[in-house]
Structure 1
Amino acid sequence: MVSTPALIGVDWGSTSLRAWLIGFDGALLDEAGAGQGASTIKGHAAFVAALDQVAGAWRASHPQLPLLACGMVGSAHGWLDVPYARCPAGTAALAAGLRRPDDGPYIVPGVLFDDASLPPDVMRGEETQIVGALHLQPSLRAASCVVLPGTHSKWTHVNEERIVRFATHMTGELYAVLRQHSVLGRLMPADAPADPEAFVRGVDAARDHGELGLPHQIFAARTLGITHKLPEAALADYLSGLLIGHELRAGLQWRVLAGLGAAPLALVGAPPLCARYQVALQRFGRPADLVLDNTAPHGLLALARAAGLLPLETP
């Protein structure tokens, strides 16, 4: 039985956007994408044109469908600066914070964590994935640690279906900067094949000797090559493992301090990246309890229902 279209959903990041025609049961009936990220275009007309490129045909065929977007499209550099929802924030608070530019989609607010004791932290887009994960996996709703690997990885404490606190690690961006714009990258071939053993070696270095400090340890991504203790083709994976290992070292400690020692740990994100995090977590003796692919479409559907844009039940 073919699902009935219910929603046009968009995940609009800094460098690209993805759009889905979503059924009432959460099925993806069609999808499209473009490289026109929220930080690459300016002005109302440019955003309207980019949206029409990926979703114009669906809007013409289904003019009654609500349109909902998440991500950096709601930032100060996006289409409309949508105020953050403050922690603790759940589905109801996010749905209440939706804002809409003329001719545009309803935009999901990001989330702000600011308890005055530490520097504030923010997310845009990940909150929608977390809502989707909670919708799909009831075991995460009472208490859980939801980890979203990526350019800016998020370690999130969920309690009673709300985002209570979270910590961002710039792991992916730091890897890109070090590889492309530092002395470390000079030894790293651009087309080197994957080296799982080098990745594990980097993870283990962070696990076993992280007290030496990341600024010191990352220099090994150069010295191991210079001294021929690792082939140059392995250095990029060693660096990746080292950075992810330091993230896990800090994140797992944060998880315990947050009182989540017995709560499920879930990975949410692209399968190849989640696979790397699974390997790293196993080296720390704490494998993930759940691994979920992109949950943003389910999150957008749940938020549309909570905002009254769709009926609560499938018609």
Structure 2
Amino acid sequence: MTTSLIGLDWGSTHLRAYRYDAQGEVEEKRAFAHGIRRLPEGGFAEAFAQAVQHWPDVPVLACGMVGSRNGWREVPYLDTPTSVDRLAGALARLETPGGRRVHLVPGLRDPQRPDVMRGEETQVAGALAATPSIGQRGCLLLPGTHSKWVSLRDGAVTGFATVMTGELYGVLLQHSILGAQLPESGDDEQAFHGGVVCARDSGAAGALSRVFSARALMLDGVLPPSSVADYLSGLLIGDELRIALAAGWADPLTPTRMVGEGALCERYLKAAAIFGIDIDAAPDNTTALGLWRIAAAAGLVSPLAAA
């Protein structure tokens, strides 16, 4: 089939390239370690040339940190509320040394918190394309190093919040007394469950008041050293869910959909079940789907192709 679009998911540590046919299906995918922090000799231009080598000269749409202050070209954030159409209308353009034109997706800013995202807005667009109904009144959870909780109303992102769960987990294990000289984790489901329950029951004090329990339980012989990491994982993910309920980001009346894949998302689903939060998993191709959806709204692909 005829290639109609090239999409780039260009983050801090990775670069993924998608070649789409005329119906928006990904015909070919490439992956490189050329994130904006790991560029090859020749910089952005060389990384781009490798990503699209031998692919047709068609419109290129890129999302992620490539449009950040340290990226190829900075694209200003759009304040919420923001719809997919508004994102599509604010694309920035740059010309590559090879003569190709690249369109860059802006990130989003929630001025009320304040908070920012860059790259996740394209995942949101993909989730909305896959399940339009959640855009009327829904919540998206994007787990990761910096988890995002995104509020959706009438097809637009009305606000979002970042919780640094993954980064805090890494800091505690690598740079605190809690993780000092621990053996390799044994993937202890019971320890993870115990951490989630501890966070759930921490009340107004929150899990920060319970973090040191990981060491106390180990010294008491209740928690094996190899299970400390799983306990801390449950404690921090559990506290993120506790915060989401307390802040009203998630509630029994608002559908919540999780965007992501892999073992981390499985942990969030297990923790959500302990809290009684009903979370559905979105398809794992939301970024690719979001790039196509934004390109269609921007007129980078023909109306027939976008149908």
1:73-152 alignment to 2 at 5 Å? 73-103=66-96, 105-115=102-112, 119-152=113-146
- The corresponding residue for 2:286 is 295
Rounded to whole Å, the distance in 2 between the matches of 1:73 and 1:92 is 21
Following superposition, the deviation at residue 261 of structure 1 comes to 4.4
Letter of the structure 1 residue corresponding to residue 9 of structure 2: D
Greater mean deviation of Cα atoms: 154-163 or 45-54: 45-54
Following superposition, the deviation at residue 305 of structure 1 comes to 0.9
After superposition, the Cα gap between the structure-2 partners of 1:208 and 1:4, relative to the gap in structure 1 and judged at 3 Å, is farther
- 8 A Cα contact 1:83 1:97, kept in partner: no
Following superposition, the deviation at residue 244 of structure 1 comes to 0.5
Rounded to whole Å, the distance in 1 between the matches of 2:259 and 2:193 is 21
Under a length normalisation based on structure 1, what TM-score does the superposition of the two structures give? 0.90
- The corresponding residue for 1:224 is 217
Following superposition, the deviation at residue 76 of structure 1 comes to 0.5
- The corresponding residue for 1:155 is 149
1:207-286 alignment to 2 at 5 Å? 207-255=200-248, 261-286=252-277
Under a length normalisation based on structure 2, what TM-score does the superposition of the two structures give? 0.92
Residue 54 (structure 2) pairs with residue 57 (structure 1): yes
Per-residue CA shift, 1:253-292, capped at 9, x if unaligned? 3236x8x642211000123222111101100011213433
Which ranges of structure 1 fall in alignment gaps of 5 or more residues? none
- The corresponding residue for 1:188 is 182
- The corresponding residue for 2:191 is 198
Following superposition, the deviation at residue 210 of structure 1 comes to 4.3
Per-residue CA shift, 1:148-188, capped at 9, x if unaligned? 00111100100111000000001111111111122221143
Rounded to whole Å, the distance in 2 between the matches of 1:168 and 1:42 is 31
Following superposition, the deviation at residue 77 of structure 1 comes to 1.1
| CA root-mean-square deviation | 2.0
Rounded to whole Å, the distance in 1 between the matches of 2:169 and 2:54 is 38
Following superposition, the deviation at residue 214 of structure 1 comes to 3.0
**Secondary structure, in 3 states, of the residue corresponding to 1:33?**
strand
After superposition, the Cα gap between the structure-2 partners of 1:24 and 1:175, relative to the gap in structure 1 and judged at 3 Å, is farther
Per-residue CA shift, 1:194-213, capped at 9, x if unaligned? 11211111111100124333
